[in-house]
Structure 1
């Protein structure tokens, strides 16, 4: 296969051998890629300044045996520039981490990439007052999580009880044991469950439809807790950024 050019958002970077880095990039045409940037840990590296956090990059990629290699990179856009609010940076990093753990290598998801770029672009406009920031950030994170779940096919039906098939009505729980929503009376006490309030179910149902929640309708804090648990269950591990944000939001 010959060298190719693609554009994507850098999701993460980690050390690889003595002077190299391994970059995970979510690209438009080829989905998530693992790319080696040779010599990018060196002070005078020409690639490293272009492969920044929250950056959208045009890449020249040369196929390799184990990992494809970066032959060139041009930074096209930075969605969040320093100096920035630390909590906002953690929120943005959570978007990258969630995208990384819930997508497969080599599977293009153009709709998800579009959503990722949209939410990253909104970070700079978050309120500066702490309480206002907290409410907006909670809503952004919850909506982004559900968007990823919906696009990747990981979202669960939120209209009917998985056992009796009746329309969901309070009290409603999500069973991590059976992986679905149930009326509380339809699950036994030995299930690992999360009880959801009426407003959370209503909000989820709105997100599941094509409609958008009404402007100003903030995502319930209890619902965010459930979505975070659900993502970490899908990932099979605790995610650092979500752990931090849970304590903040």
Structure 2
């Protein structure tokens, strides 16, 4: 991480904020060069504050920061990308809150990680641009989950058996959340910490793990497969983080309220992922 001078400039995305004193705010931000920081925006809650509009949740801003003893002080802030849909659309508010909390959970203060910064910016840009109720939103969240797990050192092993290192066959294999990967049927027989994972579910997880977002964006996944992927990733994140993210309950309530069905690909539509039998 580069040394911070008495005054330094940085780009930042606001992950979390809390009120402090009569008019200040403490912001947890992610930056490309300094990692995650806690900064203070003095007077940001005053109606006359010039900085307040440039320090909104999920916003991408350019900051001038002064070093201080407890929290470095934001002296100037200019919006780079405001992502207005992430503060006006209820579904996107929930999804952006989840992304911010997820990144916050996987990063440590002061640890530079440019790849996570790039992933967050891409995710916020794509989420902001999606049409309301887009079927791509859950794909984006699951793709980000797997990319972030890889960048943080918790990538699940989805291609070779954890027990014998053999390449996994397109059959029902067995997942161990605690071990972070898959066992073949032979190796799983002697274990009690595994659960079956269908071949098509494993195929979707592999696809999300290894493809770029432009490729994932246009794929269609059968609803029951996507629900199973959602459940497995949710429980794997619980295992890794050892706590439940606060935004998950809100996001799940929104999904149950108005989530549109995800249909199989029709003629002329985006291609659906092939089944395990078709890809074998």
Coarse TM-score class (shorter-chain normalised)? 0.7 to 0.9
* Corresponding residue number in structure 2 for 1:206: 207
Asked which structure has the greater CA Rg, the reply is 2
Q: In 1, are the aligned partners of 2:154 and 2:180 still within 8 Å (CA)?
A: no
Q: CA RMSD in A?
A: 2.4
| SS at 1:5 equivalent | strand
| Residues 1:239 and 2:245 aligned together | yes
Distance 2:110 2:251 in 1: 29
Task: Determine the structure 1 residue equivalent to 2:218.
Answer: 215
Question: Is it true that 1:164 corresponds to 2:164 in the alignment?
Answer: yes
Q: 1:171: Cα distance to partner?
A: 2.1
Within a 5 Å distance, the mapping from 1:1-249 to structure 2 comes to 1-81=5-85, 84-128=88-132, 130=133, 133=134, 135-169=135-169, 170-187=171-188, 190-191=192-193, 193-209=194-210, 212-213=215-216, 215-218=218-221, 220-247=226-253, 248=255
Indicate if the aligned counterparts of 2:32 and 2:113 stay in contact, CA closer than 8 A: yes
Q: Where do 5+ consecutive residues of structure 1 fail to align? A: none
Deviation (angstroms), 1:75: 1.6
CA contact (8 A) 1:138 1:221 kept: no
Q: Which shows bigger deviation, 137-146 or 236-245?
A: 236-245
Measured in 1, the distance between the counterparts of 2:179 and 2:147 equals 22
| Count of matched residue pairs | 244
Moved more, 4-13 or 32-41: 32-41
The alignment's TM-score, normalised by the length of structure 2, stands at 0.77
Taking the aligned partners of 1:37 and 1:157, their CA distance within structure 2 comes to: 42
Q: Is residue 28–residue 110 contact of structure 1 (8 Å, CA) maintained in 2? A: yes
Pick closer, same or farther for the CA change 1:214–1:67 going to 2, 3 Å: closer
SS of residue paired to 2:167: coil
Secondary structure at 1:13 match in 2: strand
